[in-house]
Structure 1
Amino acid sequence: MFLSGYWLQVVLSWAVVAFATATVVVAVQNAKLEQDLRDVQSKIDIFEEWNGAKNQRVKREDSIDYRLPTALVPTHYEVYWHPDLETGTFTGQERISITVVEATNQIILHSYLLEITSVYVLNREVESFELETERQFLIITLTQELPVDASITLGIIFNGQMKDKLVGLYSSTYQNEAGAQRNISTSQFEPVYARQGFPCFDEPAMKATFAITVVHPSGSYHAISNMKEIESNYLGDYTEAIFESTVKMSTYLVCVIVSDFASQETTVRANGIGEDFSMQAYATSHQIDKVEFALEFGAAVTEYYIQYYKVAYPLTKLDMAAIPDFSSNAMEHWGLVTYRETALLYDSSYSSTLNKQSIAGVLAHEIAHQWFGNLVTMQWWNDIWLNEGFARYMQYKGVNAVHSDWGMLEQFQIIALHPVLLYDAKLSSHPIVQQVDTPAEISAIFDTISYEKGGSVIRMLETYVGAENFEEAVTNYLVKHQFQNTVTDDFLTEVDAVVPALGVKKLMLTWTNQMGYPVLNVSKTSAGFLVTQQRFLSNPASYEEEPEDSEFGYKWSVPITYTASTWEDGSVSSVVYDYDVDSVGIALDSDIEWIKLNVHQTGYYRVNYEESLWTLLIQQLTTDPSRFDIADRAHLLNDAFALADASQLSYIVPLEMTGYLAQEQDFVPWYVAANKLIAIHRSLMFSEGYVSYLTYARSLLANIYQELGWTVDANNHLRNRLRVSILSAACALGLPDCLEQASTRFNAFLQNPTTARPSPDLREIVYYYGIQESSSQSSWQQLYALFLDEADASERVKMMYGLAGSRDAQTLFNFLDLGYDESIVRSQDYFTLVQNIAANPVGEPVVWEYYREHWPELSARFTLTNRNFGRLISQITQNFAGTVKLEEVQQFYAKYPEAGAGANSRLEAVETIKYNIEWLARNRADITDWLSGTASPLLTAKNQL
């Protein structure tokens, strides 16, 4: 599954305050800030509640066992579904073939939100059956005990609802070109929602084969599933579609769709590894031309994976479908991958460069799962990282194999690695492998640790063992365990077998079994360089807390790579820093001035140098930036700012480093810099020195902004990505020409939406800052009307983002309230709407008030097991930086203690607020002093902006 939400990219655009009154606002707000900081010292210890919250997180309901008993093993399902598209209900029946491995008189399987109308067991007498809601069990008691090795057939007749949900078997609607509403039925069963579609043994290790029959309306409607249709029975108003039996697979991979979608088809070439097979893409008929890119890319990346894995694709087809309503970005059902429309459909008239890249990434992720996840599946959800971490890393390799000019291997740093390094530096993080039992816990573990940290650690492992060795191990793993289930140790065993001398298992346990990561501290000695390590935490106050238990004492076995000042040929050496030693020495010649660790930032750790080494690295960057490649320049920027944010490095170091940006021309380093410039702007917004900071930040952007301009390059992917990053930062930081350009383009668009629509790459910037700069309510209403009429999903997302740029709190409240209506904002997009408004400083308090007041309705609609709803609290509050807001959050928790899948998000929210308060106290003065001293000569030499 490909997660949607804020993990996949950092939002680049923030609202800008009214600069004409900035001095007055700063003075007033600064007084309030000073009081807040005094409150911090007098009223709270920075983590006074942490132990209680931590204990609440790890507390388990030991009296309840949510796992199925092990007495029975399903082998085959015959499932018959009849979804009624008009009423939004479905009926079904099934027969499950079961093998008895332990004597029992009960059959226990999962069923949730289903009405069970009949239960029978062939040649056995059923005494009773009951539904247990807490564990979502269907418990069937027989009159006699089933002996070991018996084979039985269980039959169940059931029915359920498809409306008002996005999981299980559910309904979706869309409008065709004629404006008529069309209904469809589709499914989303991962991780624990198959039990809402049919009673089943809904655990990943309970693999079986599935013979599926689906009833659909005759005429324009049809049904598709994991396998090809082999028979069709016409029944008048309805038709039965009968599909081939599947291969052995987990329940969460079952998929059925009833729709009137159109399709296009291509062929995937196996090139000697298995047989060629078909790939079809399904979408609403008026959008079917938008699947061409997905088909072309999908076939190409699938062919790459076949060669990479060296394992034949085991099914006879691999289809894709764009669903109008979908909770995640995509889902890797075997043979039938489902997507949001924005994650599959590409139209150059509407889709930006980022849209195109995102579509490719999502496709590459889900198709990678067809082997790693579907063919070989984790034993239990504790090891979900085996699925998602591997697919996350492979998606970058897959896209890079097809589009090598997109720089995807470097983009892994900024999209995957850097965000998770921020998250994993908090006490609210968790290990990659973590025990989960309840449905809410299972849902919550589909997070940035499983995906981004999992992918980052796999990337580090590949670098450590070598790409060819890693690929061989992956093939061996897939062949050995095909159609089976595994744990983390099974995968590491295969890597270990290829490179037995490297001690892979010992090294990897320090990364999978404990949260966090180290910072390596580097100093120069007479013999070379000395490296020590400690756990990296973003808030210095966190070090005062009693850490959760770790068998490795929060030390890591680190595969270090490094290069040195005199190695101008780009040579790289390596050494392993074992977790159980105090330090490691790197012996180098005395003429080597500096050393740079973590080459290309493939390692999952940060690096801090003594001050003299940082000075030399900055001098090298300034003198000749090309001495470091793209990834290393981005790494130096990212680590320097992160270390300064954590008070492990003077803020003067990263600020001095930004001076080299005048020579920077590449997207990835600029993405790091631009995001940080925006983040500091938001943090300093109400502080002394804010105006000086704005002036300096704008000066850094001035040259690259002028050079890039507002004209999109049709065939330069990375140049377009750079342009959007720079324009977004320039407008967020209030560069006058940027705001003027956005406003001019926006007004022209409103005057003629058909011919004056901006380039897709520029639309979010133009819509957002056009709305922000407009003082006319009619402009907002015009864009809102266009939003309501827009049929293209990606364009609606862009417009929805733009509408959140208003500086009027009442307008934002009205938009938030309107967005609750699913006829205006689809349920799948609601959380994006909330995040967009909350990211606007004017909208932040609006969203927070709304969230608190409407919590009962929100939790009833989305449920506490919804991981995206659970994460909303940390997203809404991520910029809070005062004790009043901290107290409001804590009071909210006290009022509504049940968190469900949002338990960790609540911890993260509190930790982030406290960090924000401390960040200002620690760093504001240093930044202000540097700006008033070092930066002033630079500013006088430039044109005032």
Structure 2
Amino acid sequence: MAGKDRDVLPDAVKPIHYAISLYDLELGGSFSYKGTVKIDTAIQKKTAEIVLNSLELKLHDAEVFTEHTKTQHAIRASNISYDETSQRVRLEFPTELPTSSKAILVINFSGTMNNKMAGFYRSKYKPAAPHVASVPRDAEHHYMFSTQFESCDARRAFPCFDEPNLKATFDFDIEIPADQTALSNMPEKETVKSSKDSLKIVSFERTPVMSTYLLAWAFGDFEYVEDFTKRKYNGVNLPVRVYTTKGLKEQGKFALQNAHQIVDYFSDVFGIDYPLPKVDLLAVHEFSHGAMENWGLITYRTTAVLFDEAKSDAKYKNRVAYVVAHELAHQWFGNLVTMDWWSELWLNEGFATWVGWLAIDHLYPEWNVWAQFVTESVQSAFQLDSLRGSHPIEVPVKDALEIDQVFDAISYLKGSSVIRMLSAYLGVKTFLQGVSNYLKSHAYGNATTDDLWTAVSQTSKQDVNGFMHNWIKKIGFPVVTVAEEPGQITIRQSRFLSTGDVKETEDETTWWIPLGLKTASKPTGSAAGAFSSKEETLRDLDESFYKLNVNQTGFFRTNYPPQRLAKLGNARENLSAEDKIGLIGDAAALAIAGDGTTAGLLAFVEGFKGEKNYLVWAQVISALANVRSIFSDNEQVSKGLKNFTLQLISPATEAICWEFTPNEDFLTGQLRALLISSAGGAGHQSVISEARRRFQLYSSGKDQAAVHPNLRLAVFRTIVTEGGAAEYEAVKEQYLKTTAIDGKEIALQAMGRVDTAELANNYLDFLFSDKVAVQDLHSGAASLGANSKARIHLWQYIKTQWDAIHPKLAANSVVIDRFLKMGLSKFASHEVGQDIAKFFEGKDNRGYDRTLGVISDTVRANANYKERDEKLVLEWLQAHGYA
């Protein structure tokens, strides 16, 4: 059945409850399994067919049991036909099925535990501890088995009505080796011995009403660490566990320490107790996403849930804490109340992102997470949303093939940014009260964006729907341009495009903009001011100091007159870290679009030499890295920018030194790693020499403490950047032998700093070998793509090896989407942009067609910027003694 904006299943039959049994699992060879699913349904209209979702499954038979005058009738399907394009199966019956509130559809089927990180799949890993006898293995690896059903892959595991608003309850049981551990959404109900030797059947308690994409199960050679919530739920403290394969459970302790506190925190702020009887977190060795919020059994990429206090880079502590919070937020927002359709995915992801950071700010106020949010999340959202190929937050999604592409910076990061903007304007407490009312009104059901705004409007007594309509429904965001006159300023909003060529027809949206005006007399900003017109004049303004968008809570860029930007640069003591990050980000973006200049950006950041804040430095270095990338083909400009960067960061780098002190705070450690890595990349000779000395001691085994875990990436990158084949091979050896949970990711990122075609091709061959997990391919693409000397070799490799690498990339749409976007978006050449477009023209690009549009827009913006500013940049660098 086709709706206006969505292609959905016919509505004749509605699922109410599933009972799923899996058995005859082949744990090697074919990795096949058999299953029976019994679906309690309501037949709402007479029909001679039932259509449901199925992908890569074989349905052996199907039968419907109905009650008529207290007699049960069985009608067997006379024909089963598949439509692979729409991922559906049609069950045809010899006679019409009568309407019935209690019909049971029974299907026997078989499937495969695939290696695509989608559906019911297997993950390879090298065991970290002695294992049980029956663990599935090959010569080198062991296997664990788990599920990933979001967005539309439950249909790969069992035939089902796989749409988010077709909620049901679920019973699940599985037959596995007697010495393995099985997990699912709910606690274990019972385990019985199978009639087959050394097997058992594990069954689980019935789930609440929920969407198919939230069902999950897993089994393997697992162990766990456990703690309990401090709050009581139905009279008991809930068990919270982190499960890993054997030998890794101790690395789950940091996630565990966060998880039980966050469950209690969200239960308080939402005013609704966590709804299930247990919370399990599972580390999965091969995982396409960062994590998945399956209700009661949350699955994670290992680097997003495991942390080794002795071996891990501290930046992963930040990642683990945040990802744990994000997924736990979904237990309410997404699981208890689910979006009606995938077009409103942002309701799940935007909110979980914002409230995830809210929880981390609550637990770790010293981490200054909102400055981190501005430098990472807000700037990333701006970057994508400044392209023509962006999309509204709420984007029409017709069918399953389109869905994965909206799991992007718009749904997550722009979504969370506009929620932060709204909550800052209304007050966080008022906003969360509205959220609580929304969750209570729609518990165990589905809801829309309008439902959320209605609840928040009622609580705040403000027209939230009016405020937010254009932010959610329209593409893009505004730049607010400031014109100064004595005692007043005029502000004008217009759409911002990084290509700088906004057409009149593209500038018709007027956004509601909370101004956040900060002045000398109101240093925390004015909460009341907002404007919803194209232009407005603010009178009686204290001109000695003012800044719009206090703490960068508004999702807009600000274009000040050059002299005002200079004044703000000289008044840095009046600016928060968020303010500084926002100003740097705006100056860099305005230079790309042509509304500002690179000279203006360089002059502005030159004043940050004495900066102490890690997150501000991260924004400065990110902006400079992009400028250096854009102009990398011009040797004179490139050398001048390298010299500029070196002179800017050397004082701070030399002041912070190499040694970590006991009880040093998290942000200082991160600043040290950032500055050393950047200084090494900018040619700081003493940093390069010290990195080489330490790496020699570390890699030879003479002194493992020579390279602190937080400095592995900085040191590895520096020696590969400044070295040749020997250094590259030495880091590859680190990749092959590391036992650190983050070790492979760090080595891969460093290896991409190679500077010759030969080494780039060697790296790419290695990347696509069986030594690198498919989940990590995007790390290699990102590293080469950011490397101005290697990105062209990446593109040549993609072109010449496409037929060989495409099957591996395309097995999972998330993988190919990330690989292409991260690998190809840094070019600044119209010629290369046209070559990319020509190469993909005529190919089946379903699943990443939107990404190709983003790449095209980004490369064009970069190329326009390079052509426009190249000469001016060189002149500025020469005039200031850098070139």
TM-score range for the pair, normalised by the shorter chain length: over 0.9
1:89 is matched with which residue: 17, 32, 36?
32
2:518 is matched with which residue: 563, 567, 571?
563
Name the % identity.
Answer: 27
Q: For the structure 1 residues 805 and 651, does the alpha-carbon distance in structure 2 shift closer, same or farther, using more than 3 Å as the test?
A: closer
Matching of residues 95-494 of structure 1 within 5 Å = 95-122=38-65, 123-125=73-75, 126-176=77-127, 177=129, 181-219=141-179, 221-235=180-194, 236-270=197-231, 275-494=236-455
Q: Secondary structure at the match of 1:561?
A: coil
2:800 partner amino acid: E
Deviation at residue 633 of structure 1 after TM alignment: 1.4
Deviation at residue 832 of structure 1 after TM alignment: 1.5
- Structure 1: tracts of 5 or more residues without a match: 1-60, 941-945
* 2:852 paired residue number: 906
- Whole-Å Cα distance in 2 between the matches of residues 577 and 730 of structure 1? 43
- Whole-Å Cα distance in 2 between the matches of residues 598 and 65 of structure 1? 38
* 2:133 paired residue number: none
- Whole-Å Cα distance in 2 between the matches of residues 919 and 62 of structure 1? 43
Deviation at residue 563 of structure 1 after TM alignment: 1.0
* 1:31 paired residue number: none
- Whole-Å Cα distance in 2 between the matches of residues 592 and 848 of structure 1? 51
Deviation at residue 188 of structure 1 after TM alignment: 0.6
- Whole-Å Cα distance in 2 between the matches of residues 337 and 194 of structure 1? 16
Q: Is the CA contact 2:392–2:472 (under 8 Å) kept in the aligned structure 1?
A: yes
Deviation at residue 695 of structure 1 after TM alignment: 2.2
Q: Is the CA contact 1:443–1:865 (under 8 Å) kept in the aligned structure 2?
A: no
* 2:653 paired residue number: 705
* 1:10 paired residue number: none
Greater RCO structure (CA 8 Å; 6+ sep): 1
2:15 partner amino acid: P
Q: Secondary structure at the match of 2:374?
A: helix
Q: Is the CA contact 1:864–1:902 (under 8 Å) kept in the aligned structure 2?
A: no
1:64-105: CA deviation from partner (whole Å, max 9, x where unpaired): 973111222111000001333223111111100001223322
Q: For the structure 1 residues 561 and 233, does the alpha-carbon distance in structure 2 shift closer, same or farther, using more than 3 Å as the test?
A: same
1:247 partner amino acid: P
Q: Secondary structure at the match of 1:543?
A: coil
Q: Is the CA contact 1:273–1:310 (under 8 Å) kept in the aligned structure 2?
A: no
Deviation at residue 653 of structure 1 after TM alignment: 2.9
- Whole-Å Cα distance in 1 between the matches of residues 613 and 234 of structure 2? 39
- Whole-Å Cα distance in 1 between the matches of residues 101 and 247 of structure 2? 53
Q: Is the CA contact 2:487–2:539 (under 8 Å) kept in the aligned structure 1?
A: yes
Deviation at residue 271 of structure 1 after TM alignment: 5.2
1:848-880: CA deviation from partner (whole Å, max 9, x where unpaired): 122112223333233376033024333222232
1:449-500: CA deviation from partner (whole Å, max 9, x where unpaired): 0000110011111012111110100110111100000111111110111123
Deviation at residue 113 of structure 1 after TM alignment: 0.2
TM-score by length of 2: 0.94
Deviation at residue 275 of structure 1 after TM alignment: 4.5
Deviation at residue 703 of structure 1 after TM alignment: 1.1
Q: For the structure 1 residues 276 and 62, does the alpha-carbon distance in structure 2 shift closer, same or farther, using more than 3 Å as the test?
A: closer
Deviation at residue 311 of structure 1 after TM alignment: 0.4
1:792 is matched with which residue: 728, 731, 740?
740
- Whole-Å Cα distance in 1 between the matches of residues 124 and 569 of structure 2? 56
- Whole-Å Cα distance in 1 between the matches of residues 432 and 141 of structure 2? 48
1:682-726: CA deviation from partner (whole Å, max 9, x where unpaired): 222232333333222211112111111112345310111222222
* 1:572 paired residue number: 526
Q: For the structure 1 residues 546 and 582, does the alpha-carbon distance in structure 2 shift closer, same or farther, using more than 3 Å as the test?
A: closer
Deviation at residue 527 of structure 1 after TM alignment: 5.4
- Whole-Å Cα distance in 1 between the matches of residues 3 and 41 of structure 2? 29
- Whole-Å Cα distance in 2 between the matches of residues 685 and 782 of structure 1? 27
2:7 is matched with which residue: 66, 74, 81?
66
2:394 partner amino acid: V
* 2:597 paired residue number: 650
- Whole-Å Cα distance in 1 between the matches of residues 165 and 600 of structure 2? 51
Q: Is the CA contact 1:866–1:901 (under 8 Å) kept in the aligned structure 2?
A: yes
Q: Is the CA contact 1:116–1:159 (under 8 Å) kept in the aligned structure 2?
A: yes
Q: Secondary structure at the match of 1:116?
A: strand
Q: For the structure 1 residues 65 and 676, does the alpha-carbon distance in structure 2 shift closer, same or farther, using more than 3 Å as the test?
A: closer
- Whole-Å Cα distance in 2 between the matches of residues 661 and 189 of structure 1? 47
Q: Would you say 1:600 and 2:535 are equivalent positions? A: no
Q: Secondary structure at the match of 2:710?
A: coil
- Whole-Å Cα distance in 1 between the matches of residues 252 and 351 of structure 2? 26
2:697 partner amino acid: A
- Whole-Å Cα distance in 2 between the matches of residues 901 and 225 of structure 1? 29
Matching of residues 854-933 of structure 1 within 5 Å = 854-863=801-810, 866-894=813-841, 896-933=842-879
1:252-310: CA deviation from partner (whole Å, max 9, x where unpaired): 11111110111111111225787421111111211111111111111112211111111
Q: Is the CA contact 1:864–1:899 (under 8 Å) kept in the aligned structure 2?
A: no
Q: For the structure 1 residues 63 and 801, does the alpha-carbon distance in structure 2 shift closer, same or farther, using more than 3 Å as the test?
A: same
2:125 partner amino acid: Y
Q: For the structure 1 residues 278 and 157, does the alpha-carbon distance in structure 2 shift closer, same or farther, using more than 3 Å as the test?
A: same
Deviation at residue 347 of structure 1 after TM alignment: 0.3
1:661 partner amino acid: F
Deviation at residue 546 of structure 1 after TM alignment: 5.4
Q: For the structure 1 residues 356 and 64, does the alpha-carbon distance in structure 2 shift closer, same or farther, using more than 3 Å as the test?
A: closer
Q: Would you say 1:675 and 2:627 are equivalent positions? A: no
Deviation at residue 529 of structure 1 after TM alignment: 2.1
1:6-29: CA deviation from partner (whole Å, max 9, x where unpaired): xxxxxxxxxxxxxxxxxxxxxxxx
Deviation at residue 911 of structure 1 after TM alignment: 1.6
- Whole-Å Cα distance in 2 between the matches of residues 317 and 815 of structure 1? 44
- Whole-Å Cα distance in 1 between the matches of residues 530 and 722 of structure 2? 54
- Whole-Å Cα distance in 1 between the matches of residues 183 and 629 of structure 2? 49
Q: Is the CA contact 2:768–2:805 (under 8 Å) kept in the aligned structure 1?
A: no
Aligned length: 859
Mean Cα deviation higher: 417-426 or 125-134: 125-134
Q: Is the CA contact 1:678–1:729 (under 8 Å) kept in the aligned structure 2?
A: no
Q: Is the CA contact 1:880–1:913 (under 8 Å) kept in the aligned structure 2?
A: yes
* 2:70 paired residue number: none
2:489 is matched with which residue: 525, 529, 545?
529
Q: Would you say 1:732 and 2:681 are equivalent positions? A: yes
Q: Is the CA contact 1:224–1:256 (under 8 Å) kept in the aligned structure 2?
A: yes
- Whole-Å Cα distance in 2 between the matches of residues 485 and 868 of structure 1? 29
Deviation at residue 386 of structure 1 after TM alignment: 0.3
* 1:27 paired residue number: none
Q: Is the CA contact 1:431–1:512 (under 8 Å) kept in the aligned structure 2?
A: yes
* 2:772 paired residue number: 825
1:98 partner amino acid: T
RMSD over aligned CA atoms reads 2.2
- Whole-Å Cα distance in 2 between the matches of residues 63 and 489 of structure 1? 18
- Whole-Å Cα distance in 2 between the matches of residues 843 and 609 of structure 1? 37
Q: Is the CA contact 1:270–1:312 (under 8 Å) kept in the aligned structure 2?
A: no
2:167 partner amino acid: K
Q: Is the CA contact 1:169–1:197 (under 8 Å) kept in the aligned structure 2?
A: yes
Q: Is the CA contact 2:487–2:543 (under 8 Å) kept in the aligned structure 1?
A: no
* 1:619 paired residue number: 570
Q: Secondary structure at the match of 2:114?
A: coil
TM-score by length of 1: 0.88
Q: Is the CA contact 1:594–1:613 (under 8 Å) kept in the aligned structure 2?
A: no
Deviation at residue 656 of structure 1 after TM alignment: 2.3
Mean Cα deviation higher: 117-126 or 474-483: 117-126
1:748 partner amino acid: L
